[in-house]
Amino acid sequence: MATSPTEQHRSTGRSLRGRDPEDPIPSDQILGLDNIALELPIAGIGSRGLAVTFDYLCLTLLLFTIVAAVAFAADGPLDSGLMIGSLVLLVFFVKITFFLVQELAFKGCTLGKKMLLLRTVGTSGGTASTAQLIVRNLLRPIDLIVAAPLMALDPKARRLGDRLAGTLVIHDRPLMERASLGRVPAGWGPREVAVAESLLARRGELDPDQLRHLALRLVRLVQRDDPALLQESPVPEVDPVAALRQALAAS
Amino acid sequence: MRLHYGRFLELRRGLWQRFEQNLHKARQHPRRLNYEDLEALTFDYRQVLHDQAQSRYRFPGTEADYLLRRLAVEGPRLLTRDPTSLGAGPVSFFTRRFPSTFREHLPLVAVVTAAFLTFGILGLALATYNPALGLSFVGPEAEAGLRSGRLWTEKLTTSIPPAVSSSSIASNNMTVSLTAWAGGALAGLYTLFILFINGLLLGSVIGLTLHYSMAGPLFEFVAAHGPLEITVILVSCAAGLVLARSMIVAEDRPRSEVLREGALDSLVLLGGSLPWLLVLGFVEGFVSPQPEIPVGLKAALGLSLEALFLLYALNPFTQRTRHG
């Protein structure tokens, strides 16, 4: 008798969404539009721990400032019942909403996350919704206890609030300028291209002798595979980096 | 046919640069985007995503691969928003979303109420048959007060200004509600613990006040705020259990989908009931401790608040469809 995939998985005790060496889409894979795999730069426990520590320092400072400001405004001891009552409520709401308000206002960032270039996003990398941000932030007190082991064990480093809200925290680094090749010698594969691009992108950081040596080796490869590209280049032995850039029309 | 890297760059780089520039512009001035701009950007993103999939397997480690991976991650930030939503604005949330969710989870609210009553009866029985055990639940201050014929609630009128007690009570009740809800994330265990403790405590207090002939003053104190306060906390506990159920029971649906739905429903239940605790804080701080207000009036206020909440939560004026 034929059984459905669900029944087969149940009978063998294997999870439908668990890791399976034969499964082309592992459970920790993040899928974007048209189910194309995305490589989101997931933030780990270290950077997130630093960000939240900074945020709690800011919260402490803010609460201290509020209490000091109210005391200063009262111009003496806080003897008005209404003032103390308002202060109690204000402190409560600031504590509850500190993280949430920031994430709503800065689209997934708090001050700590901004400092460490992190951002909260939905599971497919999109902007997290208001409901998601509320859920993940209201669960913060529970996460103070259980977040660390959960994040350490999860390939996407999600705490409990992230799991229930369907969010991720990713690195939010700006796009960097990189070398880009205008021409590619015939027969070059991605490996050779990546080496040339990486060398040209890092030419300002490398030791001049090493740079010259590596550039010369690449120029010789160009000479071997597609000598026509070197026709208008400077003499490689004099300035191999310039010759390589010219040959590959690198930006 | 193998695609040459140079040809790949030649054919596609223009599109990537255009997408990057348009994305940058759109981020700078999102309100200036019109429908055509957004459609063009989305169309380009789709192509970038396909190029990214291609470069990932054919040209890994190259500049194109690096750039496309970055663009594929950057795009959704502007172009997609998670569909999870609380409704179309606060009015819709309170008039449609909360009532429909409350009705949907009414059986769970009933189970929570039954469990609370059971724990309450247990506390009452313990305090009635063994008052010493009941006294250990309420603490030494309340014990001393009861022995001398005073309720611990008297300090609300004698030593604490009403505004302070009102805001403290409101924030304390909200903390209890939030904890009961968040406790659902620990597979519901902490929510059940809060339910158990509060039920046991309330039962013990009733049993002890009966034992010391103080039930009248206690009723007078809780009449105005008690019914709704307990209801709101029970709804928060039910919200916590909705969250817990989504963690435990997924049937054959993807776990992430069930979790998200459970978290959202539980958030709606919490968000719809929590504001009432502010009203109750005011009542408990300003009305309940006042001996000048007749007990009949306090009881009428308590029942009216309860009826108002149930009318709002069940909202018979909206259609009985999921999420309004």
CA distances from B231 to A164, A232, A251, B298 (A): 25, 84, 68, 17
Q: Which of B8, B16, B63 to mutate: most A Cβ within 10 Å? A: B63
Closest C-alpha to A179, from B64, B126, B225, B272 = B64
**How far apart, in whole angstroms, are the C-alpha atoms of residue B116 and residue B114?**
5
pLDDT for the residue numbered B304? 95
CA distances from B296 to A109, B221, B223 (A): 52, 11, 9
pLDDT tens for each residue of B195-251 = 999 999 889 888 888 888 888 888 888 888 889 999 999 999 999 999 999 888 877
In DSSP terms, A31 is beta-bridged to A37
Residue B185 and residue A164: Cβ atoms within 8 Å? yes
pLDDT for the residue numbered B96? 85
Q: Which of A88, A176, A199 to mutate: most B Cβ within 10 Å? A: A88
Return the beta strands (E) in B191-294 as ranges: none
pLDDT tens for each residue of A144-169 = 888 888 888 888 889 988 988 889 99
pLDDT for the residue numbered A14? 37
Distance from CA of B189 to the nearest CA of A (A): 12
In DSSP terms, A122 is beta-bridged to A167
Residue A85 and residue B260: Cβ atoms within 8 Å? no
pLDDT for the residue numbered A19? 40
pLDDT exceeds 60 at position A17: no
pLDDT for the residue numbered A27? 52
**Coil/strand/helix, residue A170:** strand
- Any idea which of A44-48, A51-55, B60-64 has the lowest mean pLDDT? B60-64
Nearest by CB to residue A166, choosing from B82, B166, B181, is B82
Distance from CA of A50 to the nearest CA of B (A): 23
pLDDT band at residue A5 under the 50/70/90 scheme:
very low
Distance from CA of B264 to the nearest CA of A (A): 7
The residue type found at B70 is R
The arithmetic mean of pLDDT across residues A90-108, rounded, is 91
pLDDT for the residue numbered B239? 94
pLDDT band at residue B318 under the 50/70/90 scheme:
low
Residue A184 and residue B63: Cβ atoms within 8 Å? no
pLDDT for the residue numbered B88? 64
**How far apart, in whole angstroms, are the C-alpha atoms of residue B73 and residue A63?**
36
Distance from CA of B320 to the nearest CA of A (A): 23
pLDDT exceeds 90 at position A235: no
- Report strand pairing: A30-31 vs A37-38: antiparallel
pLDDT for the residue numbered B158? 61
In DSSP terms, A171 is beta-bridged to A118
CB within 8 Å of B241: residues ≥ 6 apart: B108, B111, B112, B184, B188, B191, B192
Residue given tokens 């009216």 in the structure block: B304
- Structure-model confidence comparison of residues A251 and A43, the more confident one: A43
pLDDT exceeds 50 at position A11: no
Nearest by CB to residue B5, choosing from A6, A41, A190, is A190
| C-alpha dihedral (A101, A103, A109, A115), degrees to nearest 10 | 20
Q: Are A112 and A50 in contact (CB under 8 A)?
A: yes
The arithmetic mean of pLDDT across residues B12-34, rounded, is 84
Nearest by CB to residue A165, choosing from B58, B263, B270, is B263
The b/e string for A122-159 (b: 16+ C-beta within 10 A; e otherwise) is bbbbbbbbebbbbbbbbbbbbbeeebeebbeeeebbbb
Asked if A182 reaches chain B (Cβ–Cβ under 8 Å), the answer is: yes
**How far apart, in whole angstroms, are the C-alpha atoms of residue B163 and residue B170?**
11
**How far apart, in whole angstroms, are the C-alpha atoms of residue B288 and residue B165?**
11
**Coil/strand/helix, residue A118:** strand
Percent share of chain B, pLDDT over 90: 26
Nearest by CB to residue A126, choosing from B76, B175, B260, is B76
- Any idea which of A95-104, A233-242, B266-275 has the lowest mean pLDDT? A233-242
pLDDT for the residue numbered A2? 42
Q: Which of A8-17, A100-109, A165-174, A201-210 has the highest mean pLDDT?
A: A100-109
Nearest by CB to residue A141, choosing from B9, B20, B182, is B182
| C-alpha dihedral (A29, A45, A98, B264), degrees to nearest 10 | 30
Residue given tokens 């009262």 in the structure block: A74
Distance from CA of B324 to the nearest CA of A (A): 17
User: Rounded to an integer, what is the distance from CA B26 to the centroid of its chain?
Assistant: 35
**Burial class (CB within 10 angstroms; exposed 0-12, middle 13-18, buried 19+) of B1:** exposed
- Any idea which of A1-5, A132-136, B296-300 has the lowest mean pLDDT? A1-5
pLDDT band at residue A78 under the 50/70/90 scheme:
low
Q: In A, residues 28-67, which contact B (CB 8 Å cutoff)? A: 32-34, 36-41
Percent share of chain A, pLDDT over 70: 80
The arithmetic mean of pLDDT across residues B173-187, rounded, is 89
**Burial class (CB within 10 angstroms; exposed 0-12, middle 13-18, buried 19+) of B91:** exposed
- Structure-model confidence comparison of residues B212 and A32, the more confident one: B212
The arithmetic mean of pLDDT across residues A76-105, rounded, is 82
In DSSP terms, A42 is beta-bridged to A170
**How far apart, in whole angstroms, are the C-alpha atoms of residue A134 and residue A222?**
57
Closest C-alpha to A172, from A230, A106, A222 = A106
pLDDT for the residue numbered A6? 42
The arithmetic mean of pLDDT across residues A214-241, rounded, is 82
pLDDT band at residue A3 under the 50/70/90 scheme:
very low
- Structure-model confidence comparison of residues A12 and A230, the more confident one: A230
Closest C-alpha to B311, from B231, B240, B220 = B231
Reading the block at residue B199, the tokens are: 């039920």
Residue given tokens 């390939």 in the structure block: A155
Distance from CA of A38 to the nearest CA of B (A): 7
Average pLDDT of chain B to the nearest whole number:
83
The arithmetic mean of pLDDT across residues B257-281, rounded, is 88
Residue A184 and residue B179: Cβ atoms within 8 Å? no
pLDDT tens for each residue of B66-106 = 888 888 888 887 777 666 666 667 788 888 889 999 999 99
A39 vs B contacts (CB less than 8 Å):
56, 69, 72-73
CA distances from B222 to B141, B198, B203, B246 (A): 19, 15, 14, 35
- Any idea which of A10-24, B16-30, B71-85 has the lowest mean pLDDT? A10-24
Residue B263 and residue A164: Cβ atoms within 8 Å? yes
Residue B183 and residue A142: Cβ atoms within 8 Å? yes
Residue given tokens 């206690």 in the structure block: B218
